[in-house]
């Protein structure tokens, strides 16, 4: 998506610059120039041909609109590009023009051009992802003991800490980071196989040319060309989908915690951010909204890449073509979501007082499990559950706190005196292993990121 209106919202300028027409053209021309250099290094192309070929491999020399029109007829952009490149070289050195695109096929140029851009695109994402990860580690550490209500099925459940929530987000992003980094590494390999993957057109020097070309482009040489084996591409797409989904989960949590009825967490404030065109009092979520938008759109794009894996024989029909716009859109959406969430998490604002107030929202009902567990030591789990459940119902009907009802219950006080019950009603007394879980995640963070 290249739009003056929407691009700044849904993708970063840096990512947009890797997938605009000039970048696509420039990456393909870089492969063409590297191919000539590689073939020259083993004596297939005269050294005198390199200067005119390299000079013509400048994307600014080409009419992108004209190439686009020709692509509609040719079926892919490499065909008209090679024709135009050959003509430009011929204009200055007809002999050198014979060595343009020698023995390569369109897919070699397009796939390897994409790989070069994907390598840079993954690096951009990892930069913002690392910002988010470091921010979450800081939040986990600073709020390891900050109590808040844990929520299940949209209802208050048991007390947790904000540090535990942040550590859960952090652990997820650490796993996704590994997946994205691995997928980026796996896809960053040369594609060079010629018409049917044999490099027969290289005059018996196919592997030597491939090795030289891989060195020219600083790409690993795979065991075999992969024209119709698209697992690397699909794996990269899946990693992008996992990242947007993970960001969407964090965004959903934050958006809920920003709601007026909860008001425990807020996106960082900035001039002109999160306002309403009709309601001056509102502080709307922005970064989380963009992340959720990406999380809604990415799964369908990933599904397209998985479907496109089923390609025919040595070169596919339609599946390969389906990847081009999908990959560009996936990177665009992921970049926007990642940048917004990195900014959001780096400046996230917390209201511990609101968290404390919400812990008391149910007048102690949240602590019913803690009381049940303590009472079960004397009366057994089944009977304890029935006794405390009945006390909860009476407290709701009477409109007073659970502690008051528990203290008045003759089935409870012989086993749990009032001072014991009062202690059990404190959220900090029932955090279980929350602190240990936070510590474990932070140790993983320090091992992998420090």
Active site residues: 276, 315
Neighbours of 41 (CB within 10 A): 18
Residue 113's H or E segment, with its range, is: helix 106-142
Work out the number of other CB atoms within 10 angstroms of the CB of residue 249. 16
Tokens standing for 17?
A: 């610059």
Are residues 430 and 367 in contact, defined by beta-carbon separation less than 8 angstroms?
Answer: yes
d(CA 387, CA 406): 9
* Number of other residues whose CB lies within 10 A of the CB of residue 320: 20
- Residue 333, both tokens: 């959406």
CB 421 within 8 A of CB 407: yes
* Max Cα distance, the chain (Å): 103
Tokens found for residue 395: 């407290």
Two tokens, residue 177: 């980071």
Q: How many residues does the chain have?
A: 450
Paired tokens of 314: 């040595």
CA-derived radius of gyration, the chain: 30
CA dist 315 and 228 (Å) reads: 5
């Amino acid at each position: 998506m290249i739009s003056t209106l929407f691009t700044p919202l849904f993708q970063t300028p840096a990512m947009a610059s890797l997938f605009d027409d000039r970048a696509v053209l420039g990456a393909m021309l870089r492969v063409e120039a590297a191919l000539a250099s590689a073939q020259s290094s083993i004596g297939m192309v005269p050294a005198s041909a390199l200067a005119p070929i390299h000079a013509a491999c400048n994307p600014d020399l080409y009419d992108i609109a004209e190439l686009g029109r020709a692509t509609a007829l040719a079926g892919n952009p490499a065909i008209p590009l090679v024709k135009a490149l050959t003509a430009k070289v011929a204009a200055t050195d007809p002999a050198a023009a014979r060595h343009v695109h020698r023995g390569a096929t369109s897919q070699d140029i397009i796939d390897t051009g994409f790989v070069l851009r994907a390598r840079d695109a993954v690096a951009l994402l990892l930069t913002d992802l690392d910002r988010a990860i470091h921010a979450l580690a800081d939040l986990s550490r600073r709020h390891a003991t900050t109590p808040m209500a844990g929520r299940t099925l949209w209802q208050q459940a048991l007390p947790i800490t904000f540090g535990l929530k942040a550590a859960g987000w952090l652990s997820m992003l650490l796993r996704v980071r590994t997946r994205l980094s691995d997928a980026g590494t796996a896809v960053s390999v040369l594609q060079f196989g010629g018409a049917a993957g044999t490099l027969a057109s290289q005059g018996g020097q196919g592997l030597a040319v491939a090795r030289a070309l891989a060195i020219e482009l600083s790409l690993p040489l795979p065991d075999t060309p992969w024209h119709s084996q698209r697992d690397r591409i699909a794996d990269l797409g899946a990693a992008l989908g996992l990242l947007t989904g993970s960001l969407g989960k964090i965004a959903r949590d934050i958006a809920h915690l920003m709601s007026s009825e909860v008001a425990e967490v807020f996106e960082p404030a900035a001039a002109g951010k999160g306002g309403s065109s009709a309601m001056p009092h509102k502080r709307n979520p922005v970064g989380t909204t963009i992340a959720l938008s990406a999380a809604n759109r990415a799964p369908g794009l990933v599904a397209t890449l998985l479907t496109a894996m089923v390609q025919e024989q040595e070169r596919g029909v339609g599946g390969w073509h389906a990847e081009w716009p999908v990959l560009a859109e996936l990177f665009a959406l992921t970049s926007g979501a990642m940048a917004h969430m990195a900014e959001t998490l780096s400046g996230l604002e917390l209201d511990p007082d609101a968290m404390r107030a919400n812990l008391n929202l149910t007048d102690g009902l949240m602590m019913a499990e803690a009381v049940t567990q303590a009472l079960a030591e004397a009366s057994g789990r089944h009977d304890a559950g029935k006794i405390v459940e009945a006390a909860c119902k009476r407290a709701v009907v009477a409109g007073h706190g659970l502690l008051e009802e528990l203290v008045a219950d003759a089935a409870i006080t012989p086993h749990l005196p009032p001072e014991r019950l009062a202690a059990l009603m404190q959220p900090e007394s029932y955090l279980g292993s929350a602190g240990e879980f936070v510590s474990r995640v932070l140790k993983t963070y320090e091992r992998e990121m420090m």
